[in-house]
Each structure stands twice: as C-alpha cells, then as structure tokens.
Structure 1
C-alpha cells in the first residue's frame, strides 16, 4: 500500500468521522445517501466525513450501485489493509508475534522459546527486534503500524501497562512496559494479561455473535477472561477474572503458590495434576506431560483431568449465576487432552447453576488455538485506535 501522508494532511478531518467508520467496519458497501439515512446526518456532513476517511485510506471505493436514472452512486467500504498492528503473546517459556490488518487477518507470524524469568529488558528487546523483522516479512512500512499490543502471563494494571506482583515474572513488578517498547519503536503500546487477550482473540475470531463470553485458560495456572457487552471487562484495577485463586470446597490442604490454601489453581491446574500424577507413580513435569499421558490412555491422567473439570465447573457455576454468559470457551493446554476437561465442567455447571442461566448456555472448546493471544493483543490495539474518540486524531496524523 502506498502511504500518501501528504494528501492526508491536506484534508481537514471532519468531526465525527470515527463514528461513521464504525458503521462501515462490517464490510458492507454503502453510498453516501445510505449513510445519511442511517445516521440522520445531512448529506453534506456525511460527504465531509467520507472524504476524510478516504484520504486516510480507512475506507475505499467499492463500486457503484444500480442506477435508477443518471450516474450510478458510488459505494464505500472499510479498508482493513489501510494500517497494521502487531500483537505479542508472552508466556512463561514462549513468545508469539503476529502482524495483522485492521480486520484481524494475520499477515505474518513469528514464534520463539524465551523465558519470561529472564526479566523485562531481555524479553522486551526480543519483542522489539522481532517486531522490526516481522514488519519486513509482511512487506509493510513502519509508517503503517498503528501500535503494538502485548500480553503478559501475570496480573497487569491495564491503565498503566505494568505487571503487579507477578508470581512467575521476577523483575517485572512495576516495570513500565509501554514506555520501554514505545521509546524503541515509536508507536503506542498497550499491555494486558494473557488471559484477557486470549479471550479477546477468541471472541473476535470465533464467537463474535456472543456479547457475553467467559474464556477459561486451563494450563500451568487457571485464569478467566471476561467479555461483557462485546468488550473486555477488567474490573477496577484489572484483577477481574482471577478465578484460579477462588477457594474450592474440600481442598483445604492444597497449598497454592499465592500463599493461600484451597485455591482452584492448587487442585485443578496443569501443575497440580502433574504433581498428583507423579505422586501416583506416573512422572509428569507439567501440563504438556499430563496431556500426553491422557492421549496415551492413562486412566489416572484421564480421571484427574475429569475431576479438574468438575472443580473448575464448581467455581464457574457461581460465575454463571452471577454473570449469565451466553458461552463459556475452554482453552489452554489442558483442553488439548480432549473432551474430558470440558465434560467435567459441563457436568457441574448444568447441575449447580440456575436453569434460567443455563437454558441457552453453550460450553465449547476454543477454536483459535495458539494464535488467539497474539491476535487478541492486536485486536486490543485496533479497538483502541479506531475508537471514535481517538480516530479523528489518527486521521489528522496525530498520535492515536
């Protein structure tokens, strides 16, 4: 795509162009008259906003409609190729990057084994260098980059992008991740915890019709991402969804890494199942070993995974009554063991939650796979930058 920034500067942005773009993001071509009818705005106002969006490249002509006499009216549609974003999903021992267009379509991707315990600077230096390389592989100039989204495997204060007392991330507590990366790449940087971005990626890619969604990541730990009215719900300080540290009845002797006893994570996580298997004489170092044993038909592994599903369902039953989601999506490495985990979750939720809350509730396996986090981190940037309150500044060439 050619980046004619000079032409964008010559066109004064029409106030409210961002609101008009939201209508066009569904990809349906519309004429100026149709947009005027939908919005109730004057034709001249719509024309000014369309011209501003055209000059920014965010919409493009998409042909003409059938004429009823005279020149056929032109139609316009959202142009997802206008800009790109980068999403980075950082796990305990892995990192995944993806560059996507404004529709979340992956244009290039990169994976690496990297230990989050190395500390923020070595890990983020890798993100910076990998971002430069992935832009080259996608054959897009740096000027097309709207921003970078980063997911971290620990609690994050979303408003500042800083990790807060992360248990597996030594040296990261309070580190200014957005500033460090933005200074090196010159674009806005947003940060959230890994489960939130996985929820966002899964919702955006696979379940957009569900406005109220719970995404459960069952892996080394257990977390929940909440989509409410189509948006990530983070709570007052970003701690919403930390279900791994909710107490489970009958698990008083289970010691959790948070310092408490009886936490869901202490009895139903991949680490907990691996420890239980090892104690029974089947060595397992973590979630992946647990899944491999289950796939090989290990009865103890299958029984423990099914019970983990029941324990997760016990906690989720209260969340279903309280939040009333339309779908619960189960992801994370433990979900790769087949239907056993989900079967345990279903068993308890349908037994314990109210009929009104479960009458139309769907419980399903994640569809997006390992790329959900990187895609979700990118979507986080897209939704931020294209928010109507910020878009006029983007059109004007200002920082989003």
Structure 2
C-alpha cells in the first residue's frame, strides 16, 4: 500500500479502494497503521463528488533517508535522498588507478558519515543504501563479478553488499547501473506509471534495461552490457571487448569509438579545431569533441552523425523486437550532444516497422548524471513493502 500511495503522489482513500480491491475495513486498518508509523501523512481534502470531501494521503518524505551509490569505470557518485528521492547531498570520485574497492568503500563510509552530520540526520533513520554498478554482477549475492576497464586493480569478485553492510550497519542492495538508472527515471517521471519502458545508456559503452508495469525485467544472468554486442555489420570492425563480436553495435556507438575516430582525423590534419584543443592526438578526450562539435568542426560533426545513424539502427532493432511505449535515452552521448539525440531518434523512427500505427515515444533522461545513483537509492524504496 505504501508504494501505491508513493506512485500516485497524492491520492484519496476512494481511489485506493477502487484500485486495490480491498474491503473498506481492511484498507482503513492499513492506512491507520501507516499513519501511526508516520509513513503516511494526511495532506488535506479532495474535491467532493456529492458527499464529504475525501481525505488525501501522501507518503512522508522525512520518515527515513536513503543513499544511492553509482560505481562506473570513470567515476563513482554517492547521493543522499529523502523518501521522495529529493537529493540532499552528493559526492563524486574519479575512478583512477588508486580507486581500489577497499579505498572506495572506506571513502564511501566516510562520506556517508559526513553527509548525515551535515544534514543533522542520525544513522538510525537511514533505510538503506542501493548500488548501481557496471557488470557483470550477481545482484542476489551482492557481488561485482569480473568487470573490465577499471583503472585500479582488485575489481573482481568484490562482495560489495556484505562489506558495506558491515561498515554501515544498514541494508545494502546491488543492481546494474542501467537498471537503477531506469528505476530512477521511472520514479522521476510522473506519467510513466503504466508504461512499457526501454532504457539505453550511451557512454563508455552501451547498456540497456527494460521495465514493464513498474517492474524491471531480469534475465537468467546479468546481461546489462550485452546489448552493445548486437551485430550491426557482420563483417565490421573487431570488438575492443574480449570475446566480443565483429561489427558489434558498441564498436560504432561509444565514447571510446568517437575518441578513436577523432584521433585519426587529427593525424590526418582534417580536424583543425581539435588540433587547437590538443597538442597530441592521444590526449584528445570526449570533452574536446563536444567543444569542437559546438564550434562547428566539420570532421567532428561527421563523426557524431555517423555514430548517431548507427545508434538509430540499433534502437530500431530493439524497438522492432520489444515494442516499448517509451524509450528513455541517457548517458553522456545523449545529454552532451543534442545533434546526436536528434539524428539517432530520427533514424530509429525511420526504421521502425509499423511506424504509422505504432507511435513510440522518445525522451531524454531527466536525471542526467544522477540517474544511476538516484535510481540506486530507489532500489531501497522498492524494498518498502508496508
């Protein structure tokens, strides 16, 4: 019942009665219990439909607090939020060669204590900490398995749930970052309560997640990054991922691919603005590409346009298989380059079958850089079964 009220925002008893199928006496008892525990608040009265004005209920955002932790190859981010997922504080780490699991967890513990002290919140009011991490992982066991691409050693078979629970003495949940990002976007979007959602994150790699009727759909194993191995060209370029497919989607659509192509253009002398931004091609980074794109560099514009077209082809493949109502696009490729978003969605729509009858909706993720961490905090919210 708690989550039913939370999803509605503000709701009357009559609406809850109609949608829950409970008897009046049972619903009244549950609501009274939630009010007594301060999980719910009475927030006024709704419009009358002929009788007494109905009492309106909302969940109490200050009943408790949750932490969300993102762990990615380039950075990690910790957020503190209330139970309405309003962010109260955040902290970001660079995942450099010194960011071993042990050091990161020690720093997370220190930042949790700092945030709570700054907000004058006792740790007894913390409901839990959720983690959205790169995979592969075992979410049930709470273990990060064998992720590739970390600069620091030690990121293999990390029992992060167990170790953080020992440090913090609060419940900890683990899921992959694409799932938590989709969960965060779901809670942030008031009109998404009944949609079939597809989420695609485009950054260092490609990651996807699927939701139906508010529930994340899980496979037999964690396959968050498998979407990047969808074959776009069977005789295409070799994958940079060990064991990856030739012509894989991720080989055409990723920050690493764009950086590699920009370095080739720099060496050929075609990208004049990039030459002004970096003395050496190997020093070129994604931020340089965005700056050159905004300045109108023709070579960089061509690179982004080609990647966006490939992105749209892959999206059309997913849409033609999964038929989502809405596709949420997140990650730096979509948030930092509007031209990329526009071209990718245009291509996807053009190649979607039954496009005249089937109007899929595209949206940019509303949580931007905080999507994974905020969604990780929402993992804990989903555990509330009152």
Contact 2:136 / 2:224 at 8 angstroms: preserved in 1? no
The residue that corresponds to 1:168 in the other structure is 149
1:154 aligned onto 2:128: no
Q: Give 2:270's aligned residue.
A: none
CA distance in 1, matches of 2:99, 2:169: 24
Superposed CA deviations along residues 335-376 of structure 1, whole A, max 9, x for unmatched, are 244332123322432232212587311223222211112111
Residues 297 and 65 (structure 1), Cα distance of their counterparts in 2 relative to 1, 3 Å cut: closer
1:163-242, aligned counterparts within 5 Å? 163-169=144-150, 170-206=153-189, 208-209=191-192, 211-240=195-224, 242=226
Provide closer, same or farther for how the CA distance between residues 366 and 27 of structure 1 changes in structure 2, counting only shifts above 3 A.
closer
Aligned to 1:381: 380
Q: Which moved more, 1:183-192 or 1:348-357?
A: 348-357
What is residue 273 of structure 1 aligned with on the other side? 258
Instruction: Give, in whole Å, the separation in 2 of the partners of 1:298 and 1:67.
Output: 61
Give 1:195 shift.
2.1
Range 181-190 or range 259-268, more displaced: 259-268
Match of 1:369 in 2: 368
Contact 1:110 1:134 in 2 (8 A): no
Query: 90, 94, 100: which one pairs with 1:113?
Result: 94
1:148 Cα deviation after fit: 0.3
The number of residues matched between the two structures is 367
Go from structure 1 to structure 2 and tell me whether the alpha carbon gap of 1:72 and 1:321 turns closer, same or farther (over 3 Å shift).
closer
Deviations 1:174-200 (A, max 9, x none): 211100000111111111222222222
Alignment check: 8 A CA contact 2:349 2:355 kept: no
RMSD across aligned C-alpha pairs, in angstroms?
2.9
Evaluate the alpha carbon distance shift between residue 301 and residue 234 of structure 1 in structure 2; reply closer, same or farther with a 3 A threshold.
Answer: farther
CA drift of 1:82 comes to 0.9
Paired residue for 1:324?
A: 323
1:35-114 correspondence runs (5 A): 39=20, 41-63=22-44, 76-114=57-95
TM-score relative to the length of structure 2: 0.85
Of residues 245-254 and 368-377 in structure 1, the stretch that sits farther from structure 2 once superposed is 245-254
**CA distance in 2: counterparts of 1:66 and 1:205, whole angstroms:** 26
Does the 8 A contact of 1:218 with 1:332 survive in 2? yes
* Gapped regions of structure 1 (runs ≥ 5): 1-19, 392-400
What are the Cα deviations for residues 6-64 of structure 1, in whole angstroms up to 9, with x where unaligned? xxxxxxxxxxxxxx323322232535x77556645454433432232123210123346
**Are the aligned partners of 1:90 and 1:116 in contact in 2 as well (CA < 8 Å)?**
no
Partners of 2:126 and 2:347 in 1: how far apart?
46
Distance 2:309 2:48 in 1: 61
Match runs of 1:243-392 below 5 Å: 243-249=227-233, 252-260=236-244, 261-281=246-266, 282=274, 283=281, 285-356=284-355, 359-383=358-382, 385-386=383-384, 388=385, 391=386
Deviation at 1:274, TM superposition (A): 0.7
Q: Report the CA distance between 1:309 and its aligned residue.
A: 1.3
2:222 is paired with a residue whose SS is coil
